[in-house]
């Protein structure tokens, strides 16, 4: 029986009962039936209220999820998204006409909260003077990581990154880390691989089973002196400035010519030697030379070569996967592109293979969980960032990464092989269900480098281009949002 018919029946019955004076039974029946019929009518009103509240709750949940899932960051713009989704989900339901009455976004918690409110007109309760019933539904949604995530940041710290570029990278990378660690329930580990011509695996690993480093040594030369009666005297010519390219970055230098001649002078002692040159290991490693092991993480018993040097030539060390936000941010803030006269060039395969090693479950670093064919437990992610093209080649004799040599055709072939190696490592990583995001920073003028970064990414949606400091920041924010899952927390 519909609410309208039931209300008409109840009204008619009450009227008849008042006119019927034929007997006590009829009066008693009327007295008993009235509460029963009123209870049925009130139940129908509350049933309609419950249906409206359920519809409003569904709409509120959908609106909160839509707002939190958007890549917007201002409360005003996010509320517009919520309003639109709420209206669409309420249309044609028992809660049609309801609206979002409260909305808030807390950036520090990455949380959206809102309320959907409305009223229904009563049918039977109106007989008791209650014309309408109010209802509301509240929803909370949070942007955060769902499940276990392992992320490695493979960051370019070559000479071409000096100046404002490095400042922008540090800020953007730290913002990404902060965003992912805001959710207190997030199970996320993050590693950092700064790379240039080589990678620094950390001097504490010198005796690791996966590494082969020769012993430090000193070379002392004997001091010798000879008597000379001539000295070279040079005169600078007209000032001249020349341009050279180091790691894809043009720079000027003084190339003023000089004219020199020997002049006779009183006899004097000219001495040389007598010093000690120290060869030490600063954490620098090259590529494995056996077969194609430079392109994957298999056979960890085959060691990586470590190289000695007379000064620091391998900069910031790797940070293995860690849950410590401060450890990661400290490493990012401390990145440098050179020490002294050392100006490192770009060899992207070095960064990629060590990004893979950080995520892999076995040696060299064992902090990563086992590979999962479904990439769910955990989700493994690599973010590869570079601002330039590969400028070095792999030397099969000793695993070093050297400048190309020979004529122009040979040099082009050697750099092409570097890109082939880069693609092979990316392909292998994706076969292990590692999700790869690529960030090409100001390399649009190099089609080869741009194409290589796009091909390395898991999908076109995973490949980003950044032109300046602001767009780099936006790219890292988009990656953070891509990694987050939005969930209802009400």
CATH code, domain carrying 314: 3.40.50.410
Residues 226 and 82 in one domain: no
Lowest mean pLDDT among 24-28, 159-163, 171-175, 307-311: 24-28
Bridge partners, residue 15, by sequence: none
149-153, 370-374, 398-402: range with lowest mean pLDDT: 370-374
Give the model's pLDDT for residue 32: 54
Q: What is the pLDDT of residue 252?
A: 76
Of 144, 175, 190, the residue that ends a domain is 144
Q: What is the mean pLDDT of residues 202-206?
A: 95
Name the token pair of 197. 């011509």
Q: Supply angle C-alpha 276, 278, 282, rounded to 5.
A: 165
My answer on whether 129 and 204 are in the same domain is no
pTM value?
Answer: 0.75
Buried b / exposed e over 186-205, threshold 16 CB at 10 Å, is bebbbbbbbbbbbbbbbeeb
| In a domain? residue 78 | yes
* pLDDT above 70 for 155: yes
73 and 124 together in one domain? yes
Q: Determine, yes or no, domain membership for 474.
A: yes
DSSP 8-state symbol, 127:
G
Of the three residues 102, 120, 144, the one that is the final residue of a domain is 144
d(CA 183, CA 172): 19
Is 285 among the domain residues? Answer: no
Assigned domain for 279 exists: no
Domain that holds residue 235: 222-274
Least confidently predicted of 8-12, 43-47, 253-257: 8-12
Q: Is residue 8 predicted with pLDDT exceeding 70? A: no
Question: What is the phi/psi pair of residue 219, to 5°?
Answer: -125, 115
Predicted confidence (pLDDT) at residue 333 exceeds the cutoff of 80: yes
Sole residue written with tokens 């809660």 = 95
- Greater confidence, 335 or 338? 335
Q: Which of 118, 6, 1 is nearest to 51 (CA)?
A: 118
Q: Is it the case that residue 27 has pLDDT exceeding 70?
A: no
Q: In this structure, is residue 286 part of a structural domain?
A: no
Strand partners, 251: 244
Considering the domain architecture, whether residues 247 and 325 belong to the same structural domain is answered as no
Same domain, 124 and 156: no
Give CA–CA dist 169/139, Å, rounded. Answer: 36
Instruction: Say what the pLDDT of residue 152 is.
Output: 97
pLDDT surpassing 80 at residue 489: no
Q: Do 240 and 314 have their domain in common?
A: no
- Spatial CB neighbours of 174, under 8 Å, sequence gap ≥ 6: 329, 332, 333
> Using only C-alpha atoms, what is the Rg of the chain?
36
Structure confidence at residue 37 (pLDDT)? 54
Predicted local distance difference test score (pLDDT) of residue 488: 74
Task: Kindly state the average pLDDT of the residues 100-118.
Answer: 87
Average pLDDT, the chain: 86
* Number of domains observed in the structure of the chain: 3
pLDDT tens digits for range 410-421:
999 999 999 999
């Amino acid at each position: 029986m519909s609410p309208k018919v039931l209300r008409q029946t109840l009204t008619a019955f009450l009227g008849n009962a008042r006119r019927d004076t034929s007997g006590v039974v009829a009066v008693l029946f009327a007295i008993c039936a009235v509460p029963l019929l009123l209870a049925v009518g009130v139940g129908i009103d509350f049933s309609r209220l419950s249906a409206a509240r359920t519809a409003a709750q569904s709409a509120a949940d959908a609106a909160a999820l839509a707002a939190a899932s958007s890549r917007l960051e201002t409360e005003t713009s996010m509320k517009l998204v919520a309003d639109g989704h709420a209206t669409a989900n309420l249309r044609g339901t028992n809660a049609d006409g309801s609206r979002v009455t409260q909305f808030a976004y807390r950036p520090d918690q990455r949380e959206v909260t809102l309320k959907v409110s409305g009223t229904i007109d009563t049918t039977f309760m109106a007989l008791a003077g209650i014309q309408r019933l109010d209802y509301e539904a509240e929803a909370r949604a949070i942007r955060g990581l769902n499940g276990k995530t392992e992320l490695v940041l493979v960051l370019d710290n070559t000479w071409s990154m000096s100046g404002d570029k490095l400042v922008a990278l540090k800020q953007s990378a730290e913002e990404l880390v902060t965003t992912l660690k805001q959710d207190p329930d997030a199970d996320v580990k993050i590693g950092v691989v700064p790379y240039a011509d080589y990678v620094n695996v950390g001097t504490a690993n010198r005796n690791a089973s996966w590494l082969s480093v020769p012993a430090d040594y000193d070379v002392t030369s004997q001091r010798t002196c000879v008597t000379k009666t001539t000295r070279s005297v040079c005169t600078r010519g007209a000032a001249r400035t020349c341009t050279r390219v180091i790691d894809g970055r043009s720079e000027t230098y003084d190339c003023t010519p000089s004219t020199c001649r020997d002049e006779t002078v009183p006899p004097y002692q000219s001495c040389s030697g007598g010093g000690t040159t120290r060869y030490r290991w600063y954490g620098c490693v090259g590529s494995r030379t056996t077969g194609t092991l430079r392109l994957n993480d298999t056979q960890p018993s085959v060691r990586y070569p470590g190289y000695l040097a007379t000064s620091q030539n391998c900069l910031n060390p790797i940070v293995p996967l860690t849950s410590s936000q401060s450890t990661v941010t400290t490493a990012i803030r401390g990145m440098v592109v050179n020490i002294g006269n050392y100006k490192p060039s770009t060899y992207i395969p070095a960064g990629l293979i060590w990004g893979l090693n950080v995520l892999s479950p076995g040696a060299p670093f064992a902090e990563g969980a086992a590979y999962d064919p479904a990439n769910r437990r955990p989700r493994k992610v690599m973010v590869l960032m570079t601002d330039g093209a590969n400028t070095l080649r792999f030397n099969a004799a000793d695993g070093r990464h050297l400048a190309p040599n020979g004529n122009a055709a040979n040099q082009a072939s050697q750099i092409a092989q570097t890109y082939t190696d880069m693609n092979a490592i990316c392909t292998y990583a994706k076969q292990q269900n590692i999700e790869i995001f690529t960030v090409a920073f100001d390399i649009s003028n190099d089609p080869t480098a741009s194409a290589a970064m796009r091909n390395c990414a898991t999908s076109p949606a995973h490949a980003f281009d950044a032109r300046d400091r602001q767009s780099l920041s936006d790219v890292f924010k988009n990656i953070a949002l891509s990694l987050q899952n939005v969930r209802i927390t009400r």
